[in-house]
Chains A and B, each alone.
Chain A
């Protein structure tokens, strides 16, 4: 990089950082987000360890998938007086606090632990859907550094304390960071309001050309497949790596680091790859769909060793680039019906998650094979579209 380019980069970075100074608010908010994100990966595994019935774990995952986009129910939040950024973050902190208390407060009070987690999820999921904020740390360090740091911090705690104690420590730290973030002040970002209209969407979809319809089908099938095992992906990986859940959580935390770095690297070069030619977009989408198809099988079939799981997670990380491209294609196709489609899709993903939980209870490997099959149908649908 030439000297003038370096100066220009420094200048533009400084200009983007300046509105966010003083930096402590940004740092604490980002630390809270990253700590929450890192610990949340292990919630289904923790629920399994404390004896939650598998269908309920599946239902929990489905509920999470449905709640993660608060713009779909912003009117409800507004009616409850919970649509302000402060209220949403306070709910998030309350949710994590319930998650911290759940494993220890459940047994003595006679309430199931999953109930504590489900109530906590009502606070956490809407907050988790806020998305990336254009803050100073994100600008300077990118989107990868924070999550990776949080996962790396979590790894020794999981190694020392095991899954339950390790994740509980992470929740307690997250809750404390959340309180600090609340005290320091909340950025005034508002949740956009969307107006889904199912009838208009159905009318529009009926007129869609077959190629566009296949694109939406590919997206829906692939996401359905992912929903079947998504909540249990980390839990099953831990279970395969160790004897039950006694060990393996720290290896999966490091594998998630690999996945995050891979995803970050892929996104960094994504625009350049897309500029290479018109053929790159379908190629990237197909790549993402193929990983969605093979990753569940890989978790079942690869040897139970850390490098094998790190490789699988790395592939999932790289596939994030393909999924982003596919999502962009879907968004371009949907136009003004984008929000309706997303809201419908979020609801549609609850049953597969529950089915995944049920299947996991009976025959875990079957759930993963079904996931691969569903994603495979999506891949074939997409291939039929581009092969036309």
Chain B
């Protein structure tokens, strides 16, 4: 098991993050750290700002505060590779895009209607195999099941191997077996590649089983720590009403 990932990233530090849209404050004063080799789960009620937080880290929306990447010896790393798996994908299911088209489009600038580069194609076939989706390469993206789509998204997101993997409720709308499978795969990635993984999730049971650190938010960080710490806190009970 490698102790270092590609660029030597050790932690992602979020400081004083805030997001305002119109007159609404979506996030304020958010401070936390994510470590490599750990799965950080973000939980909270609907509208708590979970997706907004992820999109701010991605740099997709304008925000206050900073996102800094630091190496083991405290040096700041400017650019890291980020992999992203979006929330249960809403897209046009009749769109004639094959799984291989989709994967190749994210890997190279060579238009996917030309004959693909052999090496890249082989790498993508391996990627599909690694997420348990062998044989799907010629299927239309819209013909896949929810679980298959999310695993294909994962195959895209982990090529090239990212230092930070961001997952936005990756298994909402996916059946229980598919969800469990997905979590196991992600969990394995954390071990194999020592990447930092941050995931928004609704499924508190799966979070309990797989997350190393939990962040409970509602516009700001209410509670952070390991699973037991957060799940036994008063803030957690106030948010989710005791039982899960």
- The answer on A and B forming one complex is no
* Interface, chain A (partner B; CB < 8 A): none
* Interface, chain B (partner A; CB < 8 A): none
